[in-house]
């Protein structure tokens, strides 16, 4: 790490906080803070949704499954086939229904449908489960950054957590959405550059593809059915499980649905 590297990191972190302060100045109500005044841009919400789904775990565990795990390979895509099916269901049925109710929290519906105790219970379950899940994500990110930056793991975790808490708290959901847009742009740019650089190191994409065994190139294998083996992943179990998981995530998880509560 050089002085220039640290300057770039410092400017980026400062810009995230500065953006949240700027966006937070125009907020004057609960709706402004929690749902962006119900006037967030559709493209920003879309990119933010993609960014929220992506984490350090995705970049560590999924490549390991594709490249190293026995029975892995591109069959992981069988799981991701559930995404478009789940998204269509959520867009057609859940989001219009929630928008009609003008909710701020998706768990408000549980109070309308049942009673406050159900809302509080599920809200508590969400906070605990999301807190644990976020902890794992921050820890994984911290490991990667600790190696890249050459600083202790605990310090990277403090920096990630501290800066994120500050800009989320100051700017509300609007800051979350537009910071996600910026981060998604950086993420995609980094992925493309890494792919180009890595492919060049091994002599081109043809060499990358040919280096994988034939069994790892297979993306769709319906013959695997519902049961996993050492040589294959279960197609129908991945697909059906993915549909239910992504429907629950994009349709009922507050970390995702909150940014979808627009327009009023």
121 vs 241: CA distance, rounded Å: 25
Q: Which domains does the chain have, with CATH numbers?
A: 3-260 (1.20.1730.10)
144 vs 63: CA distance, rounded Å: 14
121 vs 127: CA distance, rounded Å: 10
Per-residue HEC secondary structure of 201-261 comes to HCCCHHHHHHCCCHHHHCCCCHHHCCCCCCCCCCHHHHHHHHHHHHHHHHHHCHHHHHHHC
Instruction: Answer whether 261's CB lies under 8 Å from 100's CB.
Output: no
pTM: 0.81
**Residue 102 CB neighbours (<10 A):** 13
Reference 73, options 232, 216, 210, 215; nearest CA is 216
Ramachandran class of 40: left when φ > 0, alpha when ψ lies in -120 to 50, beta otherwise: beta
pLDDT tens digits for 11-65? 999 999 999 999 988 888 888 898 888 888 889 998 888 888 777 677 777 888 8
At 261, the pLDDT band (50, 70, 90 cuts) reads confident
Average pLDDT over residues 77-85: 86
CB contact set of 10 (below 8 Å; sequence gap of 6+) = none
Structure tokens at 46: 């879309």
Please check the confidence at residue 264 and state whether its pLDDT lies above 60. no
222 vs 235: CA distance, rounded Å: 5
- Enumerate helices (H) and strands (E) in the chain, giving the number of each: 14, 0
Average pLDDT over residues 56-84: 79
pLDDT tens digits for 119-172? 999 999 999 998 898 888 888 888 888 988 888 999 999 998 899 899 889 999
């Amino acid at each position: 790490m050089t002085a220039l590297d640290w300057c770039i990191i410092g400017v980026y972190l400062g810009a995230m906080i500065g953006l949240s302060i700027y966006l937070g100045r125009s907020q004057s109500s609960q709706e402004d803070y929690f749902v962006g005044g119900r006037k967030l841009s559709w493209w920003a919400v879309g990119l933010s949704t993609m960014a929220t789904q992506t984490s350090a775990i995705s970049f560590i565990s999924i490549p390991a499954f594709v490249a190293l795990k026995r029975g892995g390979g591109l069959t992981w895509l069988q799981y991701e086939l559930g995404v478009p099916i789940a998204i269509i269901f959520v867009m057609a049925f859940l989001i219009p229904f929630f928008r009609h109710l003008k909710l701020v929290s998706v768990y408000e519906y549980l109070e309308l449908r049942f009673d406050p105790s159900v809302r509080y219970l599920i809200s508590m379950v969400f906070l605990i489960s999301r807190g644990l899940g976020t902890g794992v994500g921050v820890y994984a990110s911290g490991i990667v950054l600790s190696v890249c930056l050459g600083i202790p793991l605990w310090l990277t975790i403090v920096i990630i957590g501290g800066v994120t808490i500050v800009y989320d708290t100051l700017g509300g959901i609007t800051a979350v959405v537009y910071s996600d847009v910026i981060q998604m742009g950086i993420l995609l740019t980094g992925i493309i550059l890494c792919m180009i650089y890595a492919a060049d190191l091994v002599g081109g994409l043809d060499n990358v593809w040919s280096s994988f065994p034939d069994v790892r190139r297979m993306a769709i294998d319906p013959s695997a059915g519902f049961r996993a083996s050492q040589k294959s992943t279960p197609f129908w179990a991945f697909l059906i499980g993915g549909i239910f998981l992504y429907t629950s995530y994009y349709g009922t998880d507050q970390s995702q649905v909150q940014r979808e509560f627009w327009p009023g």
